[in-house]
Each structure stands twice: as C-alpha cells, then as structure tokens.
Amino acid sequence: MSDSTANNTERGGSPIPQPLIDLLVSDVLSKHNVSEPPNLSDEQRKQLKALVQDMQKQVDEFLNKQKEK
C-alpha cells in the first residue's frame, strides 16, 4: 500500500490513492469549465465538509455491508 493510501485508510478515509483522487477531481472540474476554486464562505465550507463526511460514512457502510455478504 502506498503512503497516501495507508494514511487515508488510517484516518478513516478512502483506500483510493490521493493522486487518483486529484486526477478525477481535476477532470471533473475541467469538464465543467471550473478553472479557479470557488469563493466559499466559512459557513459554506463547513456545510460542504459535513456533506462530504456524511457521504463518506454512507459509502463506508455500504462497502462494509457488501463485504459481509
């Protein structure tokens, strides 16, 4: 396992390597003509972070259920 993969897994994150995540995010942003990071307020950042954490939790639960089958 690479260092970035090990670090993500240890923190409860995805086992997907960070360079792959960066590539996919970059591809999606360029596909939608986003060239600069959006100017988000602190509240919007908190909401977005909470949303991503909730989605990650749901994905992890789904994957754990699939492993149990």
Confidence check: pLDDT of 57 > 50: yes
pLDDT at res. 39: 84
The average pLDDT across 16-24 equals 86
**What are the residue boundaries of the structural domains of the chain, listed by start?**
1-37, 38-69
Q: In sequence order, what are the residues at sequence separation of 6 or more whose Cβ sits closer than 8 angstroms to the Cβ of residue 14?
A: 8, 21, 56, 59
pLDDT single digits (tens) 23-53:
888 888 888 888 777 788 999 989 988 998 9
Distance CA 45, CA 65 (A): 30
The span from the CA of 49 to the CA of 53, in Å, is 6
The owner of tokens 């995805």 is 14
Four-residue CA torsion sign, 53, 56, 60, 62: positive
pLDDT of residue 4: 44
Confidence (pLDDT) at 7: 45
Question: Do the Cβ atoms of 33 and 26 come closer than 8 Å?
Answer: no
Question: Is the pLDDT confidence value at 55 over 50?
Answer: yes
